[in-house]
Chains A and B, each alone.
Chain A
Amino acid sequence: MNRGWWWKFGLIVAVTLGTIWFLIPTYYSLVVMDRDQRNNLALLEERMPSWAPPAKYRLNLGLDLQGGIHMVMRVDTKTALQKRTERRGQQIASYVNDKKLGEVTSDTDPEKLQLTLTAKDPATMDAIEKEVLATFTDFTRVSRSGGTLVLAPDEGQTNFFREDAVNQAMLVIRRRIDKWGVAEVDVRKLGTDSIQISLPGRSNPEQAKELVGTTAQLEFRMVDDTNPQFFAQMFQQNPPPQGSNITLTEEGGFPQLSSPSREALLEYVKGKVPDNRVVLTECIADPVRKNDCAAYRSYLVEENVPLTGESLAGADASLSQLNEPEVNLAFDPAGAREFEKLTEAGVGRRMAIVLDDNVHTAPNINEKIGGGRARITMGRMGARTFEEWLGEAQTLALVLKAGALPAPVTVGEIRQVGASLGDELIKKGGMAALLGMGLVLLFMAAYYKKSGIIANLALVLNGLLILAGLALFNATLTLPGIAGFVLTLGVAVDANVLINERIREELGHGKTARAAVDQGYDRAFWTIFDSHVTALIAAFILFFTGTGPIRGFATTLIIGLLASLFTSIVVTRTFMTYFVHGRNAQTVSV
């Protein structure tokens, strides 16, 4: 055999071994590990031999196979925009009246999202129009006739607002899921106004409903720091049970309890809290997986809620004169009065900003704050980068707004599969795949003899490559994906049928075995190439337009077709060449 052949042979051996090596995490995750521990990557890493690939390269099972919930929420940005336009209209009207430019009333057209300002005295409208357009730059002029001015929200502003509303909703949903402590959650934006949520392994519809349910509850509560050592004393007098993982930490002179489990922490403090006080927790973000909570820390707050998000008119992140990020709050008139009263009484104490029972932050009240405007500074930069620091301010502003400006969220789609059904589908899907593959293997071996067996080897390698490819790209194997897997094997073997038929034909023309094999591969190559490309075109379009399980189908098809080009042409040809060249054979078994 010549050098080029050995190179190819080496490549095939390397690919085969690499593929098998790469499937180790998949094997451990699906076969060795317990079914509940499938997604526990740390444990998986521990179980596998040290030379195995990283645990994250295991084959993910789709929600339809492992059980779980797939949801699409639609953020009703239209309603939110209507409310906003209405609110702005009121603000414009009161601005005009305050400035003594005249007297106007505002009216909102909810369908067109337009604002109609009508002046009591049409003569004042010229001045009003000029002032309003100069001040409220988020509105543009649509038309004007006499004392009536029609305004529409600026498109850029509207889009920004829409995006903002979806981001807020996403944040709220994220936090609620975090509260359940589910790992492997995927929350992403879908299109312009939808949010897709994937919760593997969770099959309790009640909890899924909770997600869609009530809009975020934002509260301002006073932290009880009358006894700064409260948690330290509790910890010493009633040490937490063994193995509960509850520890005592201290930051800024206030000892806190800390635990990786929120439930455990709340269970421990139960009954140890004075009257009119409650313990709330703060989520300490995991340094690596920022969306997960590494620990929960305790706060003792007053039960009474003096101020809620309803009183908040707006929140924005900005940079102070010292170039430090800060969050500016604005309260409505009633909220402003309440806030002033609260801060006056609470100078030197901390005020907890609580969203959905999670303490987000607890800034110190430095002075009495009047005028309905407040500022939350973000502390020292410390080890954070500036972007992170500013990002925290923006997140906080979002959190605050999320409570203040709820855009209604409705359910677009829920697909929920129970874990037992998932198991059954895996079993049935596996059997279907094995049977289909077995039949193809049998047929090829019987019909084409030795070259059939070579094609079969390539086919098995193709199957392994698909699985490894799915694992490599962190794609998920879904039920339609299994169907795609089976179909791809059928298509992959087509290529070898084409080649072998061509070889037979060339032999029929009286060519030698060697020439027939070469001709067979050369002539069939473009046919195979073309047919794979057309199938790939359809698969890619399916991939880009499909969602959920269908996307899994497309992924499997794409990887399978690419793998098939390699296995059915390169791999089989290398072996066929060995049989006709290596042994100087005059015949070939096709």
Chain B
Amino acid sequence: MQILKNKTNIDFIGKRKPAVFLSTIINLAIIVGIAAFGFNLGVDFAGGTVVELKFNHSITAEEVRQRAQKGGLEDVSVQNIGGADENSFLLRMGGVTQLNEESATKARAAIEGLGNVRNVYPDLANGIVNFRSATALTPDAIKKAVEGTGTGVQEVRELGEAQGGGFDYQVVASGMADKVYSALGQGLEKPDFEQRRVDYVGPQVGKQLRNRGIMALLYSMVAILIYVAFRFDFKFGPGALLAMVHDVIMVAGYYLVTRREFNLTSIAVLLTVVGYSVNDTIVIYDRIREDMAKFKGKPFAEVINIAINDTVGRTILTSLTTALSLIGLLIFGVGEIFDFAAAMLVGIVVGVYSTIYIASPLTIWLDERAAAKEARQAGPIDQQPKAA
């Protein structure tokens, strides 16, 4: 069996200009889109709480949302996951603790009502309120006062006697997951749901994770570029790099357009795409190098076209086998694993395309420029065959 029966002789390189033009437009559109709309950041990066619930009876997402609202949970998004008969839902909330601007103001008033209290500092990011009291207070009294305003208190810490008189205290607000549990279970003797998963990421950690993800992407691109430059000629480097950037942007486009959650797994996908995208590029580069020796004297662009035609069958095949392996994940994968497979699929397809229409044209262009420069310096008579 053979997919491409006869050796192809398609003029890939001849169509490079419109292709590069089109790619540039799409890439720019994605970058603008990211700048304008941003990703649908998951809790990994945005910070927040995700709770996965499974009900033991049939219920719709809208009903869950209404129940949550009735229980006092205002900003919550409810999403159905898995099959319709599974009654599983993802509840997403912005905050990680029950302390937000509004509840902090109320809590502050309650604390100030306790007596001679100064320096009340709510720290929304960590869900903490620090304050100093002139007289010693009991943690129970503080807890009661704050809980009276509707904010759950996990603990009140006594930080000890302060310099210059007074006592320091720290109120730690409860997490959102607790609130979900109590809000949805309100009025029920026994909750009719099971809390299957809780993801909670503090905003600082989220920022840290995001920065680390971006750094990881940059590092791996640079490292791969160095390897390619070392193994091939330096003029191959920029093409491989640009192809990688193109693929990463296109896969990022998947997350942008579908509005699927962008999280740590997405970074893993982007990194894998970086590693994988360069695979196809290397297959063709290897062949270009081989053909350069074989077809000495032919123009570089033509050599590249031959190399692409020689390898196009196998490039399609390797992409096909990798894509086949992902089908199972597309069918059985839920949530981030489905996205992993779908985004990888995008990466595989654009990887093939970018090798032909991004990496190769740039390499040709660089070569032509170098040749032109050489020609200018050496005079027109001395021009050497480029592929030598």
A residues near B, CB below 8 A? 72, 74, 76, 79, 83, 86-87, 89-90, 106, 108, 205, 209, 212-215, 310, 406, 408, 410-418, 420-421, 428-429, 431-440, 443-444, 446-447, 479-480, 482-483, 486-487, 489-491, 493-494, 497-498, 501-502, 504-505, 523, 526-527, 530-531, 533-539, 541-542, 545-547, 549-550, 553-554, 557
Pairwise interchain contact A443-B321, C-beta atoms closer than 8 A: yes
CB distance from A280 to the nearest CB of B (A): 23
Q: Does B184 contact A (CB under 8 A)?
A: no
19 residue pairs A–B, Cβ–Cβ below 8 Å: A212-B154, A410-B126, A411-B202, A412-B204, A416-B197, A416-B199, A433-B328, A435-B328, A440-B325, A443-B321, A444-B321, A490-B325, A497-B314, A501-B313, A502-B314, A534-B282, A537-B223, A549-B265, A550-B264
Pairwise interchain contact A542-B268, C-beta atoms closer than 8 A: yes
Pairwise interchain contact B163-A86, C-beta atoms closer than 8 A: yes
- Residue among A533, A536, A547 with most chain B CB within 10 A: A533
B residues near A, CB below 8 A? 1-2, 52, 54, 96, 126-128, 154-155, 157-160, 162-163, 170, 172, 174-175, 177-178, 194-202, 204-205, 209, 212-213, 215-216, 219-220, 223-224, 227-228, 231, 264-265, 267-268, 271-272, 274-276, 278-279, 282-283, 286, 290, 310, 313-314, 317-318, 320-329, 331-334, 336-337, 340-341, 344
**Contact pick for B220, options A90, A418, A431, A538, CB 8 Å:** A538
A502 contacts across to B, CB distance below 8 A? 314
Q: In the complex, which residue of chain A has the Cβ closest to the Cβ of B280?
A: A531
Q: A530-B282, A534-B279 are in contact. Are A89 and B337 (CB under 8 A)?
A: no
B326 contacts across to A, CB distance below 8 A? 436, 486-487, 490
**Contact pick for B325, options A421, A446, A489, A527, CB 8 Å:** A489
B328 contacts across to A, CB distance below 8 A? 431-439, 486
Pairwise interchain contact A418-B279, C-beta atoms closer than 8 A: no
A480 contacts across to B, CB distance below 8 A? 265, 268, 336-337, 340
**Contact pick for A483, options B202, B286, B310, B340, CB 8 Å:** B340
Q: In the complex, which residue of chain A has the Cβ closest to the Cβ of B158?
A: A310
Complex: A568 Cα to B326 Cα, angstroms: 20
B341 contacts across to A, CB distance below 8 A? 483
**Contact pick for A413, options B154, B158, B200, B272, CB 8 Å:** B200
Pairwise interchain contact A432-B332, C-beta atoms closer than 8 A: yes
Pairwise interchain contact B332-A550, C-beta atoms closer than 8 A: no
A487 contacts across to B, CB distance below 8 A? 272, 322, 325-326, 344
Complex: A489 Cα to B324 Cα, angstroms: 10
B199 contacts across to A, CB distance below 8 A? 414-416
Q: A531-B282, A542-B271 are in contact. Are A429 and B324 (CB under 8 A)?
A: no
Pairwise interchain contact A74-B202, C-beta atoms closer than 8 A: yes
A498 contacts across to B, CB distance below 8 A? 283, 314, 318
Looking at chain B's contact residues, the main secondary structure is helix
Q: In the complex, which residue of chain A has the Cβ closest to the Cβ of B50?
A: A415
Pairwise interchain contact B332-A428, C-beta atoms closer than 8 A: yes
Pairwise interchain contact A213-B155, C-beta atoms closer than 8 A: yes
Complex: A261 Cα to B184 Cα, angstroms: 36
B158 contacts across to A, CB distance below 8 A? 310
B126 contacts across to A, CB distance below 8 A? 76, 410
Pairwise interchain contact B200-A541, C-beta atoms closer than 8 A: no
Q: In the complex, which residue of chain A has the Cβ closest to the Cβ of B273?
A: A538
Pairwise interchain contact B325-A447, C-beta atoms closer than 8 A: no
CB distance from B342 to the nearest CB of A (A): 11
Pairwise interchain contact A527-B202, C-beta atoms closer than 8 A: no
Pairwise interchain contact A414-B198, C-beta atoms closer than 8 A: yes
Q: A212-B154, A534-B227 are in contact. Are A494 and B318 (CB under 8 A)?
A: yes
Complex: A502 Cα to B313 Cα, angstroms: 11
CB distance from A64 to the nearest CB of B (A): 9
Instruction: Please give 6 more A-B residue pairs, beta carbons under 8 A apart, in addition to A410-B202, A505-B310.
Output: A412-B201, A480-B336, A487-B344, A534-B278, A535-B279, A537-B227
Complex: A79 Cα to B162 Cα, angstroms: 13
The 7 A-B residue pairs whose C-beta atoms are closest, nearest first, are A538-B275, A490-B325, A435-B328, A436-B328, A490-B322, A432-B328, A535-B275
Pairwise interchain contact B282-A416, C-beta atoms closer than 8 A: no
Pairwise interchain contact B321-A440, C-beta atoms closer than 8 A: yes
- Residue among A106, A417, A530 with most chain B CB within 10 A: A530
CB distance from A144 to the nearest CB of B (A): 22
Pairwise interchain contact A418-B196, C-beta atoms closer than 8 A: yes
Pairwise interchain contact A74-B163, C-beta atoms closer than 8 A: no
A417 contacts across to B, CB distance below 8 A? 196-197
Q: A414-B198, A542-B216, A542-B271 are in contact. Are A83 and B331 (CB under 8 A)?
A: no
Complex: A213 Cα to B272 Cα, angstroms: 39
Q: A440-B325, A498-B314 are in contact. Are A531 and B283 (CB under 8 A)?
A: yes
Complex: A114 Cα to B224 Cα, angstroms: 46
B321 contacts across to A, CB distance below 8 A? 440, 443-444, 490, 493-494, 497
Pairwise interchain contact B327-A483, C-beta atoms closer than 8 A: no
B227 contacts across to A, CB distance below 8 A? 530, 533-534, 537
CB distance from B50 to the nearest CB of A (A): 9
Q: A406-B157, A418-B194, A534-B282 are in contact. Are A411 and B175 (CB under 8 A)?
A: yes
Complex: A72 Cα to B268 Cα, angstroms: 20
A443 contacts across to B, CB distance below 8 A? 320-321, 324
Complex: A440 Cα to B205 Cα, angstroms: 40
CB distance from A81 to the nearest CB of B (A): 13
Q: In the complex, which residue of chain A has the Cβ closest to the Cβ of B311?
A: A501
Pairwise interchain contact B265-A550, C-beta atoms closer than 8 A: yes
Complex: A432 Cα to B344 Cα, angstroms: 15
Pairwise interchain contact A447-B1, C-beta atoms closer than 8 A: yes
Complex: A479 Cα to B313 Cα, angstroms: 33
Q: In the complex, which residue of chain B has the Cβ closest to the Cβ of A504?
A: B2
Pairwise interchain contact A534-B322, C-beta atoms closer than 8 A: no
**Contact pick for B204, options A74, A431, A526, CB 8 Å:** A74
- Residue among A108, A438, A493, A538 with most chain B CB within 10 A: A538
**Contact pick for A541, options B220, B327, B344, CB 8 Å:** B220
CB distance from A557 to the nearest CB of B (A): 7
Complex: A527 Cα to B196 Cα, angstroms: 46
CB distance from B215 to the nearest CB of A (A): 7
Complex: A436 Cα to B202 Cα, angstroms: 36
Q: In the complex, which residue of chain A has the Cβ closest to the Cβ of B226?
A: A537
Pairwise interchain contact A421-B52, C-beta atoms closer than 8 A: yes
**Contact pick for A436, options B223, B275, B317, B327, CB 8 Å:** B327
CB distance from A531 to the nearest CB of B (A): 4
CB distance from B312 to the nearest CB of A (A): 11
**Contact pick for A412, options B178, B202, B271, CB 8 Å:** B202
Pairwise interchain contact B163-A413, C-beta atoms closer than 8 A: no
CB distance from B61 to the nearest CB of A (A): 18
CB distance from B22 to the nearest CB of A (A): 27
Pairwise interchain contact B205-A74, C-beta atoms closer than 8 A: yes
Complex: A416 Cα to B175 Cα, angstroms: 13
Pairwise interchain contact B332-A546, C-beta atoms closer than 8 A: no
Complex: A418 Cα to B198 Cα, angstroms: 9
**Contact pick for A428, options B313, B320, B333, CB 8 Å:** B333
Pairwise interchain contact B333-A432, C-beta atoms closer than 8 A: yes
Pairwise interchain contact B337-A479, C-beta atoms closer than 8 A: yes
- Residue among B155, B265, B313, B321 with most chain A CB within 10 A: B321
CB distance from A372 to the nearest CB of B (A): 16
Q: A435-B331, A437-B325 are in contact. Are A537 and B275 (CB under 8 A)?
A: yes
**Contact pick for B276, options A87, A415, A523, A535, CB 8 Å:** A535
Complex: A363 Cα to B321 Cα, angstroms: 69
A439 contacts across to B, CB distance below 8 A? 324-325, 327-328
Pairwise interchain contact A310-B160, C-beta atoms closer than 8 A: yes
Complex: A443 Cα to B327 Cα, angstroms: 13
**Contact pick for A527, options B198, B204, B219, B282, CB 8 Å:** B282
A546 contacts across to B, CB distance below 8 A? 216, 264, 268
B320 contacts across to A, CB distance below 8 A? 443
Pairwise interchain contact A83-B318, C-beta atoms closer than 8 A: no
B172 contacts across to A, CB distance below 8 A? 410
Pairwise interchain contact B332-A541, C-beta atoms closer than 8 A: no
Pairwise interchain contact B197-A541, C-beta atoms closer than 8 A: no
